[in-house]
């Protein structure tokens, strides 16, 4: 089912070392996959106590109308799609901070080296949660408590879903942040920068996902290519719980 073209794909999948036919990775393809996923999300809910814990953590670290940039950096053993290094996020992060000099950054990453590099550059604005991070994939380390690892990932995803703007590469965790935003804050615009989107819209003609077109988010490839007036405002269209 993982390779079924009619299943939900959180990023372009590979088979025998090559990207699957039809997984074109364009903005339209990603929006279609998210709309498919939202049909499934109607039957999936996060326990109320976990939702309240995520909300409480966010509110304890950020003011209600404070502009917060969510950043997800997938490191460790990412291989199906290319790993995006911290410096590849810098242009978008700096664009946000130029627009919001007092803005904050919430970083979710599994890679301690990614955290270190980002803290060196943006430590004055950076907030992170204390989670298990390893150069190798912590999720595969059976020495670490499995329940805690699962909860850490879920909490990061829920907190990212509350941010003003979200920068991501291809990742299942990041995609769930978009789905959680759509499920738990319906109607609240989510400004998303997909760093690994395929910019060639002509490839939509070869897409395997054309059955859904619901616009769940505002997804843009390069926010820094847009005028500053198009940057998201920190209030009132976005509801933080």
Q: 22-75, pLDDT tens digit by residue?
A: 999 999 999 999 999 999 999 999 999 999 999 999 999 999 889 999 999 987
CA dist 140 and 205 (Å) reads 38
CA distance 102 to 62: 12
Confidence of residue 236 (pLDDT cuts 50, 70, 90): very low
DSSP annotation string for 115-147: HHHHHHHHTTTEE-------SS-GGG-TTS-HH
What value does the mean pLDDT of the chain take? 82
Better-scored residue on pLDDT, 19 or 140: 19
- Torsion, Cα 109 110 115 118, to 10 degrees, reads -40
pLDDT in tens, 151-199: 999 999 999 999 999 999 988 899 999 999 999 998 888 999 999 999 9
> What residues form DSSP beta bridges with 160?
none
Nearest to 103 by CA among 131, 116, 122, 84: 122
Q: Which residues contact 158 (CB under 8 A, 6 or more apart)?
A: 46, 50, 51, 54, 177, 180
Which carries the bigger pLDDT value, residue 195 or residue 84? 195
């Amino acid at each position: 089912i993982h390779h079924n073209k009619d299943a939900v794909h959180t990023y372009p999948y590979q088979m025998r070392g090559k990207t699957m036919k039809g997984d074109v990775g364009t903005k339209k393809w990603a929006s279609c996959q998210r709309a498919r996923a939202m049909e499934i999300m109607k039957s999936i809910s996060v326990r109320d106590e976990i939702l309240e814990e995520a909300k409480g953590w966010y509110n304890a670290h950020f003011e209600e109308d404070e502009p917060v940039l969510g950043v997800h950096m997938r490191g460790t053993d990412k291989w199906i799609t290319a790993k995006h290094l911290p410096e590849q996020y810098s242009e978008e992060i700096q664009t946000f901070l130029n627009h919001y000099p007092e803005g904050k950054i919430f970083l979710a990453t599994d890679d301690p080296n990614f955290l270190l590099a980002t803290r060196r550059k943006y430590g004055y604005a950076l907030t992170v949660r204390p989670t298990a991070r390893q150069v190798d994939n912590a999720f595969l380390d059976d020495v670490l408590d499995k329940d805690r690892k699962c909860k850490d990932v879920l909490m990061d995803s829920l907190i990212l879903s509350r941010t003003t703007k979200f920068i991501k590469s291809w990742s299942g965790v990041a995609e769930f942040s978009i789905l959680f935003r759509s499920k738990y804050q319906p109607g609240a615009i989510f400004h998303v920068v997909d760093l690994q989107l395929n910019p060639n819209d002509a490839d939509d003609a070869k897409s395997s996902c054309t059955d859904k077109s619901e616009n769940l988010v505002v997804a843009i490839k390069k926010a820094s290519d847009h005028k500053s007036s198009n940057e998201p405002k920190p209030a009132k269209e976005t509801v933080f719980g």
